[in-house]
Amino acid sequence: MKMNSAQIERTLEQFEGEVVPEDNPVLPQLKRIFGDHTYFLDQSGLNIVEPGEADHKDVRVGVVVNIADWADTGSRTLAPHDPEKTGVVVRF
């Protein structure tokens, strides 16, 4: 899911991570491998947000999905894997 600035802001209020900036040289490779998303890095690795089902109050939500783990202790190399839901749900 490609997010607008308001959605990114709301996500970062509810999820401890940082956005991979649009000018990051690795972004074209991420888009080629995983698609056009807003990417977030956290202590566990690389994440995206997928649309979830609206909650009981019809509030739009997104589910944080981990797509790559840190492969080293220095958090410099990512190891991609099948998408795994993290259990974190953000409300937009």
Q: What is the pLDDT of residue 54?
A: 77
42 vs 12, 16, 29, 34, 59, CA distance in Å? 11, 7, 19, 17, 25
Q: What is the pLDDT of residue 89?
A: 94
Q: What is the pLDDT of residue 56?
A: 74
Q: What is the pLDDT of residue 26?
A: 92
CA-wise closest residue to 65 among 88, 43, 42: 88
Alpha helices (H) along the chain: 5-14, 27-34
21 vs 7, 24, 37, 38, 87, CA distance in Å? 15, 5, 11, 9, 24
Residue range(s) defining the domain that contains residue 82 = 5-91
Q: What is the pLDDT of residue 27?
A: 95
Q: What is the pLDDT of residue 32?
A: 94
Q: What is the pLDDT of residue 44?
A: 94
What string of pLDDT tens digits covers the 92 residues of the chain? 999 999 999 999 999 999 999 999 999 999 999 999 999 999 999 999 999 987 777 788 999 999 999 998 888 899 999 999 999 999 99
Total domains present in the chain: 1
